[in-house]
Amino acid sequence: MAFIKNGKRIVDLRSDTVTQPTPEMRQAMAAAEVGDDVFGDDPTVNQLEAMAAERTGKEAALFVASGTMGNLVALLTHCQRGQEMIVGDQSHTFMNEAGGAAALGGIHPRTVKNQPDGTLALPELEAAIRGENVHYPRTRLICVENTHNSCFGTPLRVEYMQAVGELAHSHGLRLHVDGARIFNAAIALSVDVKALTASADSIQFCLSKGLGSPVGSLLCGSREFIYEARRNRKMVGGGMRQAGVLAAAGIVSLTRMVNRLAEDHVRALRLMQSIAEIPGLVAEPVHTNIVYFRFAPETKMSEAEFVSALEERDVRLLPSGKRRFRAVTHCWIDADDIQAAIDAIRQVMNGKNS
């Protein structure tokens, strides 16, 4: 599959959210049996939720509109107003979800520094848990992100996930996992996703990233947790009606799109290895489908010049911080697209205009 715009092939590496539904998804969506999901009678949503619960080893699951909504509903369900959640300082939930937990839930975020591998160091995490004191908010929740988007897409290992779960539970806290890309983590680590979610009280994963669906995420947890989460989803306006048309694509994602994530990882690695050889650029480590690279100190171009010179060559990627860029592989990027991106980057760095 390739993106064709005005007869031209576009290599869109801005994010794995740019994927469009596959022909199989479009067929499944058109044929989906639907009902009113707020009444609980959309059979396709029910089927997707059952599949998601089974895949993550949880009792139940809830279909939500987005990763942001899945995380927000989880936080609202775990925490009361004035309670505290501990999150990574580079986590998507802290950095990129519009402060929803604080704005809508009155939840106090306490950050711990993310290590370069996306983990929160256990001693620092433990030190951040509040003791009982009239001055303090009460710590209720620990959140971790797997894979960690801004920490090089690193997958957090089974041993770490177990350890962080044990730490949370030994202090009477809950563990929420922002697993927007948990299937990338499972594939990269060659483990069953259940091994990564076993210690979590809740896990959110996205269908609309590497798994290729147009919309949707699943929040998974105990039956009791999901019962409460369903009410919070309604509260934030996420009760969708004939959502089976969307869930149908999600079922295709879970049945057909998981194992192929390995191809995205191979392509990301290939892109990184080639970028590492281009003078003027410095590649950063690649673990899954997210590639970060920077300008070398001697490079004179601005970020905007680099991005627009690539855009002129039909290659899209995003600036990510000062003199730094991000490229993400996904199911609409094949080996030819990667080669085209490498050629275009090389040309731009060589100062060629076409």
Ligand X SMILES: Cc1ncc(COP(=O)(O)O)c(C=O)c1O
Q: Which residues bind ligand X (CB under 6 A)?
A: 66-68, 92, 145, 149, 178, 180, 206, 208, 217
Nearer to ligand X, 125 or 180 (CB): 180
Other beta carbons within 10 Å of 31: 10
R_g of the chain computed on alpha carbons: 21
> 3-state SS of the chain?
CCEEECCEEEEECCCHHHCCCCHHHHHHHHHCCCCCHHHCCCHHHHHHHHHHHHHHCCCEEEEECCHHHHHHHHHHHHCCCCCEEEEECCCHHHHCCCCHHHHHHCCEEEEECECCCCCECHHHHHHHCCCCCCCCCCEEEEEEECCECCCCCECCCHHHHHHHHHHHHHCCCEEEEECCCHHHHHHHHCCCHHHHHCCCCEEEEECCCCCCCCCCEEEEECHHHHHHHHHHHHHCCCCCCCCHHHHHHHHHHHHHCCCCHHHHHHHHHHHHHHHHCCCCEEECCCCCCEEEEEECCCCCCCHHHHHHHHHHCCEECEECCCCEEEEECCCCCCHHHHHHHHHHHHHHHCCCCC
Nearer to ligand X, 328 or 340 (CB): 328
- Closest Cα to residue 252, out of 64, 39, 88, 29? 29
> Which residue number places its CB atom closest to ligand X?
67
Nearer to ligand X, 149 or 197 (CB): 149
Q: State the nearest-atom distance from the C-beta of 91 to ligand X, in Å.
A: 7
Nearer to ligand X, 180 or 220 (CB): 180
Nearer to ligand X, 76 or 344 (CB): 76
Q: State the nearest-atom distance from the C-beta of 137 to ligand X, in Å.
A: 24
Q: State the nearest-atom distance from the C-beta of 16 to ligand X, in Å.
A: 8
Q: State the nearest-atom distance from the C-beta of 298 to ligand X, in Å.
A: 32
Nearer to ligand X, 78 or 92 (CB): 92
Q: State the nearest-atom distance from the C-beta of 206 to ligand X, in Å.
A: 5
Q: State the nearest-atom distance from the C-beta of 254 to ligand X, in Å.
A: 16
Nearer to ligand X, 333 or 345 (CB): 333
Q: State the nearest-atom distance from the C-beta of 220 to ligand X, in Å.
A: 15
Nearer to ligand X, 180 or 281 (CB): 180
Q: State the nearest-atom distance from the C-beta of 75 to ligand X, in Å.
A: 12
